[in-house]
């Protein structure tokens, strides 16, 4: 994170960073406004349909129509190649597939991009030139991945970064910003159907063999289901029982009506959480767990830094740490596990997971360590791929522009995007129980441009009914200069006016992430009799 000060240019897209990752945004703003002590400053490119807070600090702010990101990213690559601004030495030495990329972006002229995205052609050119003018760092967040084209968006950004020699360099890079605190760690640990701990392929027999040896068991060789596939399997009856830890899909799932039907079809649901969430209310068994302040362990942050979590207070009543609960349950099912404390688990993680092999609690005592950290003498790896790409050479991927699955039409004329606000977090189970935060941002709203509000005949604070093909909610209008005319925004934290009643569960075919960011809605003033 401190590396942002070394960048010449920062491109940030699909991330309302000042509200979602505020402390990182402070580092970014410092890099842009104040620079390093030696006078070096970064310049900023922001691509976001909303006039997000960080755009105030941008040299260039592009405003693409939601769902058209591949087009402007490819457009920038087009301009960079056309004007020979790429890092030819780096591309020759460390990448392959440039010609395929060249072909795939040939049609993305600034004029074509302007027609698709609404970004003026000159702005795409200016952004490309600025991006290619020095060491450039990219941050992206859910605004990039929560689309049917989510995987493509990231590939297109990776193309851009490799083209200018920005992967594996100080002040460069392509950095996802994780929304929840330990998404990184959950993935690292094998909380994925196709990946064993350390991202080894679950379908690969030799990878399984090494984990089998460590665990002294036989591992299943049938492919697992993604969370999305699980919901479908719940609906069809292929999945009968679900064990759900620390999540609230009854608020966070795209297309909530569908999620409800899925849960109803289950034979047996266990929910392990700190609160009786909307989802827990549907469970057959609810297991009370300890929160972060009540247990020991580690989290891995968005830059792969493994850091300690320490127990500060006792859990209330009989609530227990998640690791203790799962340990007890496993042993009740004849697992024969023996762990006395989270540190024992970390010792096993280090044995089983090569990228965590050098990590111990003793080494984390003062400061975190970035994985890969392959042995006890290794100081961690703040910058990935510095010595070259894992697979040898970085491969360019041709990506084409696929429009969002649901576009506005006469019946549903507005684009809805969803996201977070500064004072709330996720489904609000924690933040809404902190009085100050609840007081600052206690209720749901729909943010829209002044001209849209005028056309609808609604005032700031007035109630409107927002409907999509899947459901409807009633919320208050917030007229805001952040909103792009024709596009409205609703935060998803609020169960009583759940934005996900409206969202689409059309998904990215590869990552299985739903298209939270784009769906079509219609809006009408909510009159008393229609309530």
Binding site for ligand SF4 (CB under 6 A): 21-23
Residues 468-487 that bind another protein (CB under 8 A): none
CB of 35 to another protein, least distance (A): 11
Cα–Cα separations (whole angstroms), residue 421 to 190, 426, 432, 447, 508: 30, 9, 12, 11, 25
Interstrand relation of 173-176 and 305-309 (parallel, antiparallel or unpaired): unpaired
Per partner kind, with CB cut-offs from 5 to 8 A, the member of ligand SF4, another protein, none near residue 173 is none
CB of 183 to ligand SF4, least distance (A): 13
CB of 20 to ligand SF4, least distance (A): 8
CB of 247 to another protein, least distance (A): 4
CB of 24 to ligand SF4, least distance (A): 7
Which candidate, 233, 195, 196, places its Cα nearest to that of 214? 196
How many CB atoms sit inside 10 A of residue 374's CB? 15
The secondary structure of 455-493 as a DSSP string is HHT--TT-EEEEE-SS-EEEEEEEE-TTSPTTEEEEES-
Closest to ligand SF4 by CB, 180 or 217: 180
Tell me how far apart the alpha carbons of residues 270 and 247 are, in angstroms, rounded to a whole number: 12
The interaxial angle of helices 110-117 and 69-82, nearest 10 deg, is 170
CB of 30 to another protein, least distance (A): 6
User: 122 CB contacts (<8 Å, ≥6 apart)?
Assistant: 110
Evaluate whether 211 touches 197 at the Cβ level (below 8 Å). Answer: yes
Residue 162: Cβ-neighbour burial (10 angstroms; 0-12, 13-18, 19+)? buried
Query: Using CB under 8 A, which of 249, 372, 380, 491 touches another protein?
Result: 249
Cα–Cα separations (whole angstroms), residue 317 to 179, 289, 320: 30, 10, 9
Residue 304: Cβ-neighbour burial (10 angstroms; 0-12, 13-18, 19+)? buried
Residues 256-315 that bind another protein (CB under 8 A): 267-268, 270, 273-276, 280-281, 283-289, 291-303, 305-314
CB of 467 to another protein, least distance (A): 22
Residues 116-145 that bind another protein (CB under 8 A): 145
Stretch of 73-81, 112-120, 123-131, 346-354 lying at the interface with another protein (CB under 8 A): 346-354
Closest to ligand SF4 by CB, 140 or 231: 140
Residues 201-220 that bind another protein (CB under 8 A): 202, 215, 217, 219-220
Per partner kind, with CB cut-offs from 5 to 8 A, the member of another protein, ligand SF4, none near residue 192 is another protein
Query: Using CB under 8 A, which of 75, 165, 185, 419 touches another protein?
Result: 185
* 99 counts as binding another protein under rule CB under 8 A: no
User: Residue 53 — φ and ψ, nearest 5°?
Assistant: -50, -40
CB of 106 to ligand SF4, least distance (A): 41
Closest to another protein by CB, 40 or 440: 440
- Which tokens hold the place of 427? 């489904």
Residues 28-57 that bind another protein (CB under 8 A): 29-30, 33-34, 57
Q: Which residue is nearest to ligand SF4 (CB)?
A: 23
**End-to-end Cα spacing for the chain:** 48
Tell me how far apart the alpha carbons of residues 231 and 264 are, in angstroms, rounded to a whole number: 11
* 15 counts as binding another protein under rule CB under 8 A: no
DSSP 392: B
Per partner kind, with CB cut-offs from 5 to 8 A, the member of ligand SF4, another protein, none near residue 513 is another protein
Stretch of 423-431, 450-458, 479-487, 488-496 lying at the interface with another protein (CB under 8 A): 423-431
Angle at 179 (CA atoms; ends 293, 278), nearest 5 degrees: 70
Residues 317-336 that bind another protein (CB under 8 A): 317-323, 325-330, 332-333, 335
Stretch of 107-115, 154-162, 397-405, 432-440 lying at the interface with another protein (CB under 8 A): 432-440
Closest to ligand SF4 by CB, 34 or 450: 34
Residues 373-412 that bind another protein (CB under 8 A): none
CB of 28 to another protein, least distance (A): 9
CB of 31 to ligand SF4, least distance (A): 16
Evaluate whether 184 touches 301 at the Cβ level (below 8 Å). Answer: yes
CB of 18 to ligand SF4, least distance (A): 10
Evaluate whether 529 touches 169 at the Cβ level (below 8 Å). Answer: no
Residue 272 β-bridge partners:
245, 287
Stretch of 40-48, 162-170, 445-453, 507-515 lying at the interface with another protein (CB under 8 A): 507-515
Closest to another protein by CB, 321 or 399: 321
Tell me how far apart the alpha carbons of residues 146 and 81 are, in angstroms, rounded to a whole number: 28
């Amino acid at each position: 994170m401190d590396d942002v000060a070394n960048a010449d240019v920062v491109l940030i897209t699909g991330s309302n960073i000042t509200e979602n990752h505020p402390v990182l945004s402070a580092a970014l703003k410092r890099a842009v406004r104040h620079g390093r002590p030696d006078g070096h400053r970064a310049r900023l490119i922001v691509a976001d349909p909303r006039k997000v807070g960080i755009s105030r600090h941008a040299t260039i702010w592009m405003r693409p129509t939601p769902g058209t990101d591949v087009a402007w990213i490819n457009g920038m690559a087009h301009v960079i190649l056309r004007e020979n601004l790429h890092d030819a030495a780096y591309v020759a030495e460390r990448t392959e597939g440039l010609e395929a990329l060249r072909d795939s972006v040939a049609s993305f002229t600034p004029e074509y991009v302007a027609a698709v995205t609404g970004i003026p052609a000159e702005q795409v050119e200016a952004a490309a030139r600025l991006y290619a003018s020095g060491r450039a760092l990219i941050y992206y967040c859910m605004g990039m991945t929560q689309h049917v084209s989510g995987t493509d968006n990231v590939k297109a950004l990776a193309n851009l970064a490799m083209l200018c020699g920005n992967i594996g360099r100080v002040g460069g890079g392509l950095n996802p910003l994780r929304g929840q605190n330990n998404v990184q760690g959950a993935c690292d640990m094998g909380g994925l159907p196709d990946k064993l701990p350390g991202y080894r392929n679950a379908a690969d027999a030799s990878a399984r063999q090494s984990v089998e040896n460590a665990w002294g068991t036989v591992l299943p060789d049938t492919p697992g289901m993604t969370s999305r596939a699980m919901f479908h399997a719940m609906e069809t009856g292929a999945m009968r029982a679900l064990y759900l830890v620390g999540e609230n899909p009854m608020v966070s799932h795209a297309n909530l009506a569908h999620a409800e039907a899925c849960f109803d079809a289950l034979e047996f649901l266990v929910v392990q959480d700190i609160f009786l969430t909307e989802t827990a209310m549907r469970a057959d068994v609810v297991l009370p767990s300890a929160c972060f302040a009540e247990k020991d362990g580690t989290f891995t942050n968005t830059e792969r830094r493994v850091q300690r979590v320490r127990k500060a207070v006792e859990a209330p009543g009989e609530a227990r740490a998640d690791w203790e609960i799962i340990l007890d349950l496993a042993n009740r099912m004849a697992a024969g596990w023996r762990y006395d404390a989270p540190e024992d688990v970390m010792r096993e993680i280090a044995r089983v997971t090569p990228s965590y092999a050098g990590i111990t609690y003793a080494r984390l005592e003062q400061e975190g360590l970035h994985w890969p950290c392959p042995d006890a003498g290794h100081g961690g790896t703040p910058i990935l791929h510095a010595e070259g790409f894992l697979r040898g050479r970085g491969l360019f991927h041709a990506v084409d522009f696929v429009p969002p699955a649901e576009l506005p039409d006469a019946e549903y004329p507005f684009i809805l995007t969803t996201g977070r606000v500064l004072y709330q977090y996720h489904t609000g189970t924690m933040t809404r129980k902190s009085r100050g935060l609840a007081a600052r941002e206690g209720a749901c709203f729909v943010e829209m441009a002044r001209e849209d509000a005028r056309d609808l005949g609604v005032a700031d604070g007035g109630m409107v009914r927002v409907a999509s093909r899947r459901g409807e909610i009633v919320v208050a209008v917030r007229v805001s200069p952040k909103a792009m005319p024709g596009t409205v925004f609703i935060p998803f934290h609020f169960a009583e006016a759940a934005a996900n009643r409206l969202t689409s569960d059309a998904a990215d075919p590869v990552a299985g992430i739903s298209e939270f960011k784009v769906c079509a809605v219609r809006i009408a003033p909510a009159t008393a009799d229609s309530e």
